[in-house]
Structure 1
Amino acid sequence: MTTDPLDAYWSRNFTWGVSTSSYQIEGAAKEDGRGPSIWDTRCLMKGRVANGDTGDVACDHYHRYKEDIALMKEIGVGAYRFSVAWPRLLPRGRGAANAAGLDFYDRLIDALLAAGVEPWLCLYHWDLPQALDDLGGWTNRECAGWFADYATLVARRYGDRVKRFATFNEFSVFTLFGYAIDWGAPGITDRQAHLKAIHHTNLAHGLGVETIRTLVPGASIGAIHNRQRILPETDTPENRTAAALLDAHWNTAFPDPQIRGHYPALLADAIEPYVEAGDMARICRPIDWFGLNHYGPIFAKAEPKAIWGYAWGKTPDEAPKSDIGWPVFPQLFRDELIEITRRYRLPIYVTENGAGGEDRPDAKGGYEDKSRIAYLQAHIGAMHEAIEAGADVGGYFVWSLLDNFEWGSGYSVRFGLVHVDFATGKRTPKASARWYAGLLRRARGG
């Protein structure tokens, strides 16, 4: 496999970046007027997050953003994909805006631009204001309109400096794990709630696209989807059926209606009762790029007790795995890039790709995360192969700049290029940060 994808024919205009999200790094959860989110609430529920961890402090990026931007500049990235915290701007999800929250993102964006790092702003990365969840959240059709109002606030405030916008990050993860499998906030397990959340989030996306398009001249708008190959745990009819339905919920329930104008066949009948006249036209609005988050395949099995009849299966013992046990199949990443180009006909930006581990210090206090480097090398090489095969890929963002709050895993899993001591906040670049910096120097011809 090719592992040096820096041939001049595609590297000159390629975007190299890093990604984070608001709740996972910002901290300051109770400062400067920020309201609670559904993840603040979930963190208070016993047993829902490893070790009882919370995002109250996280990486303290709210106070240390200048230090983090300096790290981006040191690594040499050209772009930074981050998310804005809806409850920081609108503490109750709607109504009066919070001036301190608005000012924070002004400072962050201005500092990014001063450092020569392009801001890629994602409107939603799972931290719905708790006040809106109290009104039904994504199960309430009105939530699409609340999101459009929030998008209006963001576009008007930052659209003079930000031109790259994503509406949502990983629609299928937060809807499936929030409304069908109790792995995320708000922790509902109900078929109808899940179907409503899917459709209302799609509506919110379409309204958000139209809002940004109207208010930000020259905006480049996309949405970020997680797509992974869904494979049956074992090759039985029951497991194949389970894998096919999970594939519809995971891989096509959002990009198909948003880009192709219809729900996948396995989902269409179930969701039809919630579709009103004109909805599909509102959802299917022209966008400029496809954001892809990819880590590895998912193995599915039949589970009659689960509300949809499927569950996560066991990764085969012989399959290659990351340090945290996730399957590693770079060739499936290559195939996914080719398939997305064929199916959706949009430029692709890989907005998350990375490997998790414990990342313990060596005798000198450094972090020689060789397995992460191997993972990134293999996947960037696979991306290069996809491009050679015709995939339209315009950029690649590593997940993540920093070790951070990893949702239900709390702080027990680390994905960062930069180690964070969560007791002191100290940042220490790992070997992978130095490796990525070297790759980017070569990409620039340095």
Structure 2
Amino acid sequence: MTRLDSEKDKNRFCFLLKKRDILLCFRYTALTFGFNASPFILLYVLRYHAEQFEDYMCTRMIKNNFYMGNLCKTSNSPEELHKLYIEVVHCLQKGCFDLRSCNSNCELVKSQMEKDDRMVQHDSDWEKVLGYKYNPKLDTLKISNSEVDNSVNTKRGVLSQTANIFDPLSLCIPVTVRAKVPLRELWSLKLDWGDVMSDPLQQRRSSLAVDLAGLSDLKCPRQAINQDSPAILCIFRDASHNAYGFVVYGVQNGKSNFVFAKAKVAPMKARTLPNLELLASYLAVKTLPTLLKTYSHVKINNIYIAVDAQVVLSWLLSENIKTKSQYTRNRLKDVHQIRQEIRQKHSLDIQFKYVPSAETPADSLSRGISLDMFQQIFQYWTSGPKWIAETPINWPKCSLDYLSSKKQGDSLIFGATHYGFGL
């Protein structure tokens, strides 16, 4: 609780109560947790507190690693993590912040938490971390249990149920994308929020609800990229008439791990499949600056984007954009502009490769698949094709009939941490 001094008059509130015909007005003398602005106020106060100390790793962690009251930090060094834990506890105690409900997958840090009596107290193996469930013993993540009601039959109910699935990394997007496609159909039918859906749509929704409820049983390794070794980003993108998107894998030391994925429903205005494939490429390129900023502490050697449409690959490799479609020209200009910015800022170039549809994991997120099928390919989804972990990457050999000999040459050029704690 933060006591107010000179800001009291900014926290007045009023009930419709009168005393002797005078409207009673009250004011808070402290900021209680419960306001809509409380999370922001907490982070603002934490940043202000951290700025009262010299700038070093602990204060930077307080400024950058808090989210909604949760503090998460990872490192490859148990000793460094142990030191940071002791420092952050000491630093925040000076501001009367008492860290509690702590846990870690590092035994050294965990023993210190137990000694300080700050360990989380419950019988579950899973912790809530940034909306996901995390198992410190197995070092795995899974999405939180979601209550899915398969009896909803209105547009309002479908939208509400779809929003219940919290998966910002898109670990389970090949299944959850199926929940987004019906929303586009409901909008195209111009139904009001309370109108009942047709029987075919309700049947599809019911089968989907069963699949969504079972997603919390799937577990994914937490570590994506090791910050102590150079890495390669391999991006697979794909599109269908229903959805388009991409999936990113971090490749290093003979291993490949899921990093991030994203999918969007195809626009209501009909687009050709090549245009949708281009949108998938644009979405992948557009996300790269954020990914590179997130992994700024990791040396990224190469960025590859695998394309399974030769027409789109020809567009992406062309210096002179030759197409009558203004929409296509604009998207290609955007791709080239972002590519140039990445080249200038990070000294990295994006290399586009051709990969047949059968070799791209993104095929599942563009089509949407059942939970049973997703369980069968889950290992493939979380680690990507085996050949991307080879050194050098053994790209599939294919006939590129739509590309010139120069573009074919351009297309065929070969070229995070162990431990953490949460509070």
TM-score by length of 1: 0.25
TM-score by length of 2: 0.26
Greater share of residues in strand: 2
